Structure 1
Amino acid sequence: MPHQSSPQQPTASIYLAGGCFWCTEAIFRRVRGVQHVRSGYANGTDIATPPTYAAVCTGTTGYAEAVEVVYAPQELALVDLLAIFFATHDPTTLNRQGNDVGTQYRSGIYTTTAEQLAVAQDYVAQLNQDRSFPAPVVTEVAPLTAFYPAEEEHHDYFAQHPQAGYCAWVIAPKVAKFTSQFAHCMR
């Protein structure tokens, strides 16, 4: 259950696209300092019209499957949040995560403040400078232009369907990787 913030604990929101939103949501629901996670669609071409899952899956809407992450910066620094994000998906494949192919599966960070934008851009630049991955990081970093929540059946999908094939074969290993590498960040 997400924590409720008190008036003394301001929150911030950032939007992360790590391929499938079910995967990204399953990870960030487990992170200490994250108060709310919601699957949806970010930064499409027609920001005035709410997209649907079926439309986004065509790859023609420009929307990425993404999650809204509401977090308490005094509990979870943005750089720590980004470290988790980059460790739990492949940021080096353009418009692809594993067998999921198309712009809707791109790696993206969509920011809500100029400070977030600068931190994310610097973080990606540092990853590339350090050659942290075997190929260059191609994660899109941009201000958020639009976010629409996904249909209800996509929220908390992994928790509701842990035995489903995609959940067992794709999401569970990502959750296990998070658990082993970031135990100190777990709720």
Structure 2
Amino acid sequence: MENLKKAYLAGGCFWGMEDLFRTRPGVIDTEVGYLGGQNDNPTYEYHPGHAEGIEITYDPSKTSYKELLDYFFTIHDPSTVDRQGNDRGKSYRSALFIQNEEEGNEAADMIKLVDDSKRWPGKVVTTLEPFTKFWPAEDYHQDYLVKNPNGYTCHFERFGTFL
């Protein structure tokens, strides 16, 4: 399994995103955490500038970064600034944390495809941010909706693929 890759996405509350991505073909593991903020060792109580995001470990022979992005844009509203469902604030922004030029190009292409589709009420506001470090969230956040099946989520499949 040495050919596995990781992707880093944020699209609102990390619980709902993790719960949907965990069952996708080619996804080996998911973990929720904090990305793109101002402090080391962020916590749920103190994570200035960080987005609630997920780390997706995937097998590129079974799914691609582009396919992960395609699904990402169907399960949250990328046209709202710093908001998903009832969650508001910079922590809940739509963001892709880019690890290399290839990911950046694929992300920009996918955003254009989503915008051109006009499926969302406004233009995509998803930011492309450089990946620096992923900080895992506290244990009680990991697999939250598996542990709490009636827990809050604003994520669901809204429509089919953009591809």
Query: Is the counterpart of residue 40 in structure 1 residue 33 in structure 2?
Result: yes
Structure 1 or 2, whichever has the larger Rg, is 1
Aligned partner (choices 72, 78, 86) of residue 73 of structure 2: 86
Q: TM-score, length-normalised on structure 2?
A: 0.91
Instruction: List, as ranges, runs of 4+ consecutive aligned residues in structure 1 with deviation greater than 4 Å.
Output: none
Tell me the amino acid that sits aligned with residue 84 of structure 1: Y
Matched, 1:24 2:11: no
Instruction: Say whether 1:53 aligns with 2:48.
Output: no
Matched positions, count: 161
Which one has a larger percent helix, Structure 1 or Structure 2? 1
User: How far is the alpha carbon of 1:23 from its aligned partner?
Assistant: 0.6
Q: Distance in 1 between matches of 2:29 and 2:54?
A: 10
Which of the numbers 106, 116, 119 marks the counterpart of 2:93? 106
Q: CA deviation at 1:115?
A: 0.7
Aligned-partner SS, 1:70:
strand
CA distance in 1 between partners of 2:135 and 2:116 (Å): 34
Q: How does the TM-score come out when normalised to structure 1?
A: 0.80
What's the offset of the Cα at 1:181? 4.6
Q: 2: distance between equivalents of 1:84 and 1:21?
A: 15
Unmatched 5+ residue regions in structure 1? 183-187
Q: 1:66, CA displacement in angstroms?
A: 0.1
Identity value in percent:
37
Describe how 1:1-187 pairs up with structure 2 within 5 A: 5=1, 7=2, 10-46=3-39, 49-56=40-47, 61-164=48-151, 166-167=152-153, 170=154, 174=156, 177=157, 181=160
Secondary structure, counterpart of 1:51 in structure 2:
coil
- 3-state DSSP class of the match of 2:28? strand
